[in-house]
Amino acid sequence: MIFAGIDVAKDKHYCFIMNSDGEALFETFTVSNNKTGFDELYQKIKSCSADLTNIKVGLEATGHYSYNILGYLLDKGLLTFVINPLHTNLYRKSLSLRKTKTDKVDARTIAMMLMSDVDLKSYSDTLYHNEELKSLTRYRFDKIQERAQLKQSVSRLVNILFPELEKLVSSLHISTVYELLSEYPGAYYIACANLTKLTNLLNKASKGRFGKEEAVIIRDAAKNSIGFVMSAKSLELKHTIKLIQELSSLIDEIETEIKSIMDKIDSPILTIPGISYRMGAMIIAEIGDFSKFDSPDKILAYAGLSPSTYQSGQFQSNHSKMEKRGSKYLRYALFNAAKFVCHWDSTFKAYLDKKRAEGKHYNVAVSHVVKKLVRVIFHLEKYNETYKS
The per-residue pLDDT for 318 is 47
The per-residue pLDDT for 24 is 93
Helix axes 125-161, 231-265, angle to 10 degrees: 160
The per-residue pLDDT for 293 is 86
The per-residue pLDDT for 174 is 96
Residues of the chain with pLDDT under 50: 97, 308-318, 320
User: Contacts from 328-332 at CB under 8 Å and sequence distance 24+?
Assistant: 328/304, 329/137, 329/138, 329/141, 329/282, 329/285, 329/286, 330/282, 330/283, 330/286, 330/287, 330/302, 330/303, 331/303, 331/304, 331/305, 332/141, 332/282
pLDDT for 13-25, tens place per residue?
A: 999 999 999 899 9
Rounding to the nearest 10 degrees, give the CA dihedral for residues 68, 49, 6, 90. Answer: 130
Helices (H) and strands (E) counted in the chain, each on its own, are 15, 7
The per-residue pLDDT for 216 is 97
d(CA 20, CA 317): 50
d(CA 282, CA 262): 10
d(CA 152, CA 12): 45
The answer to whether the beta carbons of residues 382 and 289 sit under 8 Å apart is no
Q: Which of 154, 225, 155 is nearest to 187 (CA)?
A: 225
The per-residue pLDDT for 313 is 46
- In degrees, to the nearest 5, what angle opens at C-alpha 150 toward C-alphas 148 and 151? 65
pTM, rounded to two decimals: 0.76
The per-residue pLDDT for 207 is 94
pLDDT for 161-210, tens place per residue?
A: 999 999 999 999 999 999 999 999 999 999 999 999 999 999 999 999 99
The per-residue pLDDT for 324 is 55
The per-residue pLDDT for 130 is 79
